[in-house]
Amino acid sequence: MSASKENNLVQAYIELNKFCQSGDYDRALKATGKILQIAPSEQKAFHCKVVCFLQLHNFKEALAVLCNPKNAALASDLHFEKAYAQYRLNCPKDALQTVDNAPEMTPALKELRAQILYRLEQYQDCYNLYRDIVKNTTDEYEDERKANMAAVVANLAALNPSCDQPQFEENTYELAYNSGSTLAMRGRYNEALPVLRRAEQACAESVLEDGGTEDEAREEAAIIRVQQAYCLQQMGKEKEAASIYQNVLKDKPSDQALVAIASNNLVVINRDTNVFDSRKRMKAATAEGLEHKLNSRQRAAITYNQAILAIYSNQPDFCKQCCVKLVREFGQEQRAALIEASSLAKDGKKQAAVALLMKHAGLLTLAAAHILLAQGDRKAAVKLLEESEFKYRAGVLGALVTLLSADGEYQRASQLFTDVYQHYKNDEERLGSLRAVWRAAAAAHTRAGAPRAAAAALEALARAAPHDKRSLARLVKALAAADPARAKQLAKNLPPVDQLESKIDIDALESSKWMMGAKVVKKTVQSKQEQSPGTPGSELGQKKKAKRKRKTKLPPNADLSKPPDPERWLPKYERTAYRKRRGVRRDVIKGSQGMTTTATDQYDMSKQQPSSAGSAAAKSPRVESKPAESAWQRKQQQKKKGKGRKW
């Protein structure tokens, strides 16, 4: 290489170093191009070129350069860069293969492999790898690794809530958030809420200390608030949860996955109400690009809710498409069959729904029986439940006994409990746990006329709960007819009646008046207690108490020497001594329907005697009589006369 060429190369490397230190990767990329023009075999310049592409998020260009056959020799050692580009291009399987093909597993490749395993949802392998990295690495990124490890533990808890996983110190808000998420995934929502609130407060303080604004702090803590809302929703506080979801969505967060989760959870809260809002939320939850930002469990839940929303929206075809997606992408055949059967049942195709559910064994058999019962076909539902694998479960057994008893088939109901004895005869622990079943069995055997079988069921119940005196009393009552001697022997273990209830009045219970009601009995008992044995006349019965006559109250100015005024109860204007005032024309028309007794006779034409003047006037056509006007009619005429035109 000539001296001038070497000087140009040195000058280009100086520029490259300056641009890389200042973070100007565009100019650094041009500098690498100059170097490779001068010396195409410069491996460091090629490496810098690939890193510049990665820093500029040009992952396609970086991968194209690395995979170019002309650059095979220069890219032979760049396994990390190639795997990272594949990982960022959402090709985690190819990235994992690239990492595994590397000749040496460097610390950087280990951490990238852990990230790839997390993306592939291989959480157990990811957890084991992170544990090894945290154990053998000490640097400034230790808190970030622990936060990632806590996120892996939270996902493991979602898959298996009962598994024991390590606890992490809440040094940072990321660790506190993941610890709260782990508690939430295990169903311990009351414990998760205070941890998440501490994480939210620590997040806001951390952002403000770093020079951020309150809006930035609120956006950073949005994911923590959504997790709090999830805990509240699972605890049944849906109004509070919906308020948090809506407030987070009002801020329009940039995280598309966060928007999708909050929108989906709002759809769940809405259920079959506010379908228009649910459809708008579901559109945000199913936007493009979310398949790489949500895990399969979250995407399956969104698809499931989308199918249910299609049923509420009367979209059976779209519901079927969602069911097909559930089967193909997530392998949830039973859930898809249940949703599709619900859609068919809503459309009135109940037989098709039952046929679809019967293709899948297991719990879907119970759903098919539910549809048959809703259709009114009890016999088919009973037959289906008797042939299912769950017929010895307490809930299914109770449903069968209820249905059989409703049809009057007490013998079959009794035989069901006999089959339960035979099924669990070698499992004493299981037999002892079915106390409610034995109580129902005793009642069923009694209805079927099998007292010995009823006694056997109650005896099993008494063995399961030896200190339960009620069960022992039921057993004594059942054995009283079948085995009186044993019933008497067992009755000795019962406590005396006065210990059970000391406030019972035996005399009141044995009296013949108890059928008349509690109040009558109470009065009778009180009267017996009040009556002393020495009272005269107690043998003949008590005398009626004489009513005391009260003095008549008279007005203060009353004159007892004169008889009272017979018209004292009449109004003044109806009394004979009443005089009308001058200038006032008033017709007294009071009483029933506005009439007094005298006015009633006056205006009742059936009681009037025709006069001679009246008969003469009726015979003569020339004379016209003016009809009598009432007070109301005269008043109306006066009003008309008084009205005039206003100028």
pLDDT bucket at 203, cuts 50 / 70 / 90: very high
CA separation (Å) from 344 to 92, 311, 338, 352, 384? 39, 9, 10, 7, 20
Amino acid at 407: D
More confident residue, 429 or 199: 199
Percentage of the chain with pLDDT > 70?
Answer: 77
- C-alpha 390/C-alpha 365 separation (Å) is 9
Mean pLDDT in residue range 283-296: 90
The pairs formed by 167-170 with CB atoms below 8 angstroms and a separation of 24 or more are 170/195, 170/198, 170/199, 170/202
What does each C-alpha distance from 278 to 220, 262, 282, 380, 449 come to in angstroms? 26, 12, 6, 37, 56
What is the rounded CA–CA span in Å between residue 117 and residue 114?
5
- Can you tell me the distance from the alpha carbon of 323 to that of 334, in angstroms, rounded to the nearest whole number? 10
Q: Residue 568 pLDDT more than 50?
A: yes
**Domain ranges in the chain?**
3-137, 138-254, 393-494
- Give, in order, the Cα–Cα distances in Å from 25 to each of 36, 38, 352: 16, 20, 64
Structural tokens at position 403: 């249905």
Tell me: the pLDDT tens digits for 471-529?
677 777 777 766 778 777 777 777 776 665 666 666 776 665 555 555 555 555 555 55
Q: Give the pLDDT confidence of 351-369 residue by residue, as tens digits.
A: 999 999 988 877 888 899 9
- One-letter amino acid identity for 161? P
- Whole-number Å distance between alpha carbons of 286 and 445: 56
pLDDT class of 606 with cuts at 50, 70, 90 = low
Enter the CATH code of domain 393-494. Answer: 1.25.40.10
- β-partners of residue 184 are none
- pLDDT-derived band of residue 322, with 50, 70 and 90 as boundaries? very high
- Nearest C-alpha neighbor of 480 from the set 455, 459, 462, 456: 455
And the tokens for 104?
A: 């040496």
Q: Residue 554: is its pLDDT beyond 90?
A: no
pLDDT in tens, 79-100: 999 999 999 999 999 999 999 9
Whats the size of the chain, residue-wise?
A: 647
Structure letter (DSSP) for residue 606: G
Could you please state the CATH topology (level 3) that the domain comprising 138-254 is classified under.
Answer: 1.25.40
282: three-class secondary structure by DSSP: helix
Architecture of domain 3-137: Alpha Horseshoe (1.25)
Quote the pLDDT of residue 229: 96
Residue type, 126: C
Check if the beta carbon of residue 153 is closer than 8 Å to that of residue 127. Answer: yes
Q: Angle of helix 435-447 relative to helix 469-482, nearest 10 degrees? A: 30
| Residues 6+ away with beta carbon under 8 Å from 466 | none
Contact 272, 312 (CB under 8 A): yes
Average of per-residue pLDDT values in the chain: 81
Contact 222, 253 (CB under 8 A): yes
- What confidence score (pLDDT) does residue 464 get? 61
Residue 645 corresponds to which tokens in the numbers above?
A: 């035109």
The band of 314, judged by pLDDT with boundaries at 50, 70 and 90, is: very high
Topology match between the domains 3-137 and 138-254: yes
Q: Which amino acid is at 138?
A: T
Q: Is 164 left (phi over 0), alpha (psi -120 to 50) or beta?
A: beta
**Which residues fall within 8 angstroms of residue 629, CB to CB, at 6 or more apart?**
637
Instruction: List, in order, residues 6 or more apart from 394 with CB less than 8 Å away.
Output: 434, 436, 437
Copy the structure tokens of residue 186.
């295990």
Are 313 and 287 in contact by the 8 Å Cβ rule? The answer is no
For CA atoms 131, 127, 102, 63, the dihedral sign is negative
CA distance 159 to 150: 15
How far apart CA 117 and CA 123 sit, in angstroms, is 7
User: Which pLDDT score, from 0 to 100, does residue 630 have?
Assistant: 58
Q: Residue 95: which of 106, 84, 108 has the closest Cα?
A: 84
Which residue is it, tokens 């490259």? 16
Q: Which position has the higher pLDDT, 590 or 137?
A: 137
AA identity, residue 501: E
Which residue, chain included where needed, has tokens 């024991």?
164
pLDDT at 107 over 70: yes
How far, in Å, CA of 88 to CA of 146, rounded? 22
